[in-house]
């Protein structure tokens, strides 16, 4: 599984990128709004930090508007991936972008049928939202497993981004199932790296080392 970060905060992106583990970034309108900054300026900064796919979401609901917005965003860098919502208008836009060799990420995927349709329209990535399914009492991880099985059975090369990740178990289980990518909030990266035995182990090594000086 590759790691993307799910944020529009450039400090968070810079930090995780410095760990050497970051393969890409996903943003969405809510994450951009949370930062209270200009979207294009933010994207340009992210482009300078990360050499990998950066998803930028369109806000139009009609395919014509999505295409216009998406082409403008794609002109910023070859690394920009146009994120479109999983609707029939979104699929029309994906068809257009695919023809123009612009990469796409179909977002707000909540069923295997949606994922299969997005893949067949030419999506580079699909983003099933596991946390939001868990929130309403469904099993988000089962959706990931179903999509992995269907894509494998049919030799589909659309990559699966496990999205709406809430905790490390989501990451590990989705990785075991074969999801290609996890897009992970900063807070969860912090949980992934920490282990109490690592902390106490470092403490013990340091205090034993001090004893060698006496
Ligand atoms: C994915 O690309 C989305 O930005 C994201 O994972 C949504 O997660 P949320 O359910 O925490 O808002």
Which tens digit of pLDDT belongs to each residue from 127-152?
A: 999 999 999 999 999 999 999 999 99
Taken as a whole, the chain contains a residue count of 214
- Report the separation in Å between the CA atom of 7 and the middle of ligand 1, taken as the mean of its atom positions: 9
CATH number of the domain that residue 146 is part of: 3.20.20.70
**What total number of domains does the chain contain?**
1
Is the CB of residue 7 below 6 angstroms from any atom belonging to ligand 1? no
Query: Would you give the end-to-end CA distance of the chain in angstroms?
Result: 47
Domain region containing 52? 2-211
Catalytic residues: 83
- Report the separation in Å between the CA atom of 130 and the middle of ligand 1, taken as the mean of its atom positions: 9
- Reported confidence tier of residue 20, pLDDT bands at 50, 70, 90: very high
Specify burial of residue 178 (Cβ count, 10 A radius: 0-12, 13-18, 19+): middle
Atom of ligand 1 nearest to the CA of 28: 4
Query: pLDDT value at position 182?
Result: 98
Atom of ligand 1 nearest to the CA of 26: 2
Is the CB of residue 132 below 6 angstroms from any atom belonging to ligand 1? yes
**Is it the case that residue 74 has pLDDT exceeding 90?**
yes
Q: What is the pTM of this model?
A: 0.95
């Amino acid at each position: 599984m590759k790691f993307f970060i799910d944020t529009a905060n450039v400090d968070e992106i810079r930090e995780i990128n410095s760990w050497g583990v970051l393969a890409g970034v996903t943003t969405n309108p809510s994450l951009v709004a949370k930062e209270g900054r200009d979207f294009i300026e933010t994207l340009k900064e992210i482009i300078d930090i990360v050499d990998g796919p950066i998803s930028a979401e369109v806000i139009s609901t009609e395919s014509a508007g999505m295409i216009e917005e998406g082409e403008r965003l794609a002109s910023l860098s070859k690394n920009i991936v146009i994120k479109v919502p999983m609707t029939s208008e979104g699929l029309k836009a994906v068809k257009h972008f695919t023809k123009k060799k612009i990469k796409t990420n179909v977002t707000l995927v909540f069923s295997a049928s949606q994922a299969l349709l997005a893949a067949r329209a030419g999506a580079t990535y699909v983003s099933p939202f596991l946390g939001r399914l868990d929130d309403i009492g469904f099993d988000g991880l089962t959706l990931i497993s179903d999509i992995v099985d269907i894509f494998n059975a049919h030799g589909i090369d659309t990559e699966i981004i496990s999205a709406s990740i809430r905790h490390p178990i989501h990451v590990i289980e989705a990785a075991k199932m074969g999801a290609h990518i996890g897009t992970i909030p900063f807070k969860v990266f912090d949980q992934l790296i920490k282990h109490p035995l690592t902390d106490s182990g470092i403490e013990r090594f340091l205090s034993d080392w001090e004893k060698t000086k006496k």
